[in-house]
Copies of this chain bind each other. A is one copy, B any other.
């Protein structure tokens, strides 16, 4: 296929994609196939002579679509959202065409530099502490990882190497294997399976911090502190805690300050500083809205932070954004500089070689899709998408509720948002009244959402 044919086939593919996404609602969201369905539909071996492109395209409907779970169907409520937007798809097309492998600055300066700046843009949208932003006097910066699992692992490896380095500085004779065999990492017992997996891969103990329903499954500071003290008494070395968005407020509000208070004086000299990695894979996108940003308070105690724009910020998979407070901690865990990857600017301190920030060596030009999405939506457009409803919509809803005369509410303004306040006021209000009020509000909201454009 030459460029001339690609012009034709590419445009057909654009229409095929638009058709697919415009009509996705008509397809069954979950496929009706049995394991092994596909093998019988295609040949046992690759063809000797080329197939025609028409045959390949026909087979998309015959072979592929019957087995697809349609993640972008409006009826898909499983697992978690995965982002999809047209600007991101256009950027990915361009990325595929440029097709550079951005492991170092020199391997394609635009690939590295756009990533650094897009990570700064996004970091500013989230109002991250300045230390995490590359274009400041801090030591931090951001990087695109493939998945949150990788970010969890990368942070754990960085923490492991930092801890070993600090201990060896004070006790150079201690065998490294003795140190690593004593390391202990922590995560909530509600944490994602990838956390335990990171511990397995990194070859370190991973302990689960027990949580309770009564505490909304958040880790309680005292529980965690007790574990740390017991582990230290038993000769272990606490070095890493990875917290999830559902629970980390509790931890950052209560736990970490406790840790700091108790341990700060001896953090570095005793080499017991615990790396705190905050993972807000799903919820993180919402922090671009001022009304949700307080949920990220505590980030100032973290060593690294990660969330997935590829879940809820309209940037197609994969794009898992990670920031670190001190890039040298991260780089220290991985840095390898063979001659064939060296280049002029390497030691200038001005540039970033992202291969030191991740598990794989190669990397795609993924920041293009952040750039396209951020520009085509604008911050306001992204905030509207998170809110999935406008101030106007809320105003109309309130009007209808109050016009109905059955219940009465007043609004307030909160960080630029028109908010409906529901206060339980009367001495005579019972549960059944609240349920009835909720029924009315839901029904009217349903009507408003159907009538007004999102």
A contact set with B: CB distance below 8 Å: 1-7, 9-11, 13-18, 20-22, 31, 33, 35-39, 42, 44-51, 53, 55-56, 60, 63-72, 79, 82, 84-90, 92-94, 96-101, 105-111, 113-114, 116-117, 120-122, 124-125, 135, 146-150, 153, 157, 160-161, 175, 177-178, 180-181, 192-194, 196-197, 200-204, 316-318, 333-334, 336-338, 340-341, 345, 348, 350-351, 359-362, 364, 368, 371-372, 374-381
- In the complex, the answer to whether A200 meets B68 with C-beta atoms within 8 Å is no
Partner of A49 from B70, B337, B378 at Cβ < 8 Å = B378
| A20 in contact with B79 (CB, 8 Å) | no
- In this complex, the member of A38, A105, A108, A203 whose beta carbon has the largest number of chain B beta carbons within 10 angstroms is A203
Distance, CA A1 to CA B14, complexed state (A): 14
Please tell me which one of the listed residues B10, B200, B360 contacts residue A146 in the complex, with CB atoms under 8 A apart.
B360
Inside 8 A of A340's CB, which chain B residues have their CB? 79
Q: Which residue of B lies closest to A102 (CB)?
A: B69
**Are A374 and B5 touching (Cβ within 8 A)?**
no
A318 to B125, CA, bound (A): 30
Of chain B, the residue at the smallest CB distance from A67 is: B110
When distances are taken between beta carbons in the complex, the residues of chain B under 8 Å from A6 are 14, 17-18, 86, 89-90
Q: How far is the CA of A202 from the CA of B160 in the complex (A)?
A: 11
The listed residue with most B CB atoms (<10 A of its CB), out of A70, A72, A98, is A98
A84 to B6, CA, bound (A): 13
Interface centre among A39, A46, A65, A379 (most CB of B within 10 A): A46
Q: Are B100 and A372 in contact (CB under 8 A)?
A: no
Residue pair A46, B351 in contact (C-beta under 8 Å): no
Question: Quick check: B360 and A150 within 8 Å, CB to CB?
Answer: yes
CB closest chain-B residue, reference A151: B360
**Do A110 and B79 form a contact, CB below 8 Å, given A97-B20, A147-B362?**
no
**Is B7 within 8 A of A51, CB to CB?**
no
B9 touches A378 (CB 8 A): no
Are the C-beta atoms of A13 and B93 separated by less than 8 Å? yes
The residue from B3, B14, B51 contacting A86, defined by CB atoms under 8 A apart: B3
Cross-chain contact B31 with A110 (CB below 8 angstroms): yes
The 4 closest A-B pairs by CB, nearest first: A67-B110, A10-B14, A177-B181, A38-B113
Contact partners of A39 in chain B: CB under 8 A: 113, 116-117, 135
Q: Find out whether the CB atom of B9 lies under 8 angstroms from the CB atom of A11.
A: no
Point out the residues of chain B lying under 8 angstroms from A113, CB to CB: 35-39, 67
Question: Which listed residue (B22, B72, B108, B359) contacts A71, Cβ 8 A?
Answer: B108
Find A10's partner among B44, B90, B336 (CB 8 Å cutoff): B90
Q: How far is the CA of A320 from the CA of B148 in the complex (A)?
A: 21
Please pick, from B117, B201, B375, the residue contacting A38 in the complex, using a CB distance under 8 A. Answer: B117
Contact of A17 among B48, B97, B175, B334 (CB under 8 A): B97
Are A42 and B89 in contact (CB-based, < 8 A)? no
Supposing A1-B85, A16-B94 touch, asked if A359 and B149 sit within 8 A by C-beta, the answer is yes
- With the chains together, A22 CA to B402 CA distance in Å? 63
Interface pair A36/B101, CB less than 8 Å apart: no
Q: Which residues of B contact A69 (CB under 8 A)?
A: 100, 106-109
Kindly state the separation between the CA atoms of A4 and B341 in the bound complex, as whole angstroms.
44
Contact A17 B64 (CB under 8 A): no
Query: How far apart sit A125 and B381, CA to CA, in the bound complex (Å)?
Result: 49
* A337 neighbours in B (Cβ, 8 Å): 193
Are the C-beta atoms of B193 and A336 separated by less than 8 Å?
yes
Contact present for B46 and A121 (CB under 8 Å): yes
A-B residue pairs in contact (CB < 8 Å), sample of 29: A7-B14, A7-B15, A10-B10, A10-B14, A10-B86, A20-B98, A33-B109, A37-B109, A38-B114, A39-B117, A45-B121, A46-B122, A46-B124, A46-B375, A48-B378, A49-B381, A51-B378, A64-B114, A68-B109, A70-B98, A89-B97, A92-B93, A93-B93, A177-B177, A181-B181, A197-B336, A201-B334, A201-B359, A318-B362
Q: Does B82 lie within 8 Å of A47, measured CB to CB?
A: no
Which of chain B's residues have a CB closer than 8 A to the CB of A85? 1
CB pair B317–A378 under 8 Å, yes or no, is: no
Q: Across the interface, which residues of B come within 8 angstroms of A106, CB to CB?
A: 69
Residues of B within 8 A of A161 (CB): 200
Minimum CB–CB distance from A178 to chain B (whole Å) comes to 8
Given pairs A53-B376, A146-B360, 10 additional interface contacts (CB within 8 A): A9-B86, A10-B10, A13-B93, A35-B350, A46-B121, A51-B375, A65-B110, A146-B146, A150-B359, A193-B338
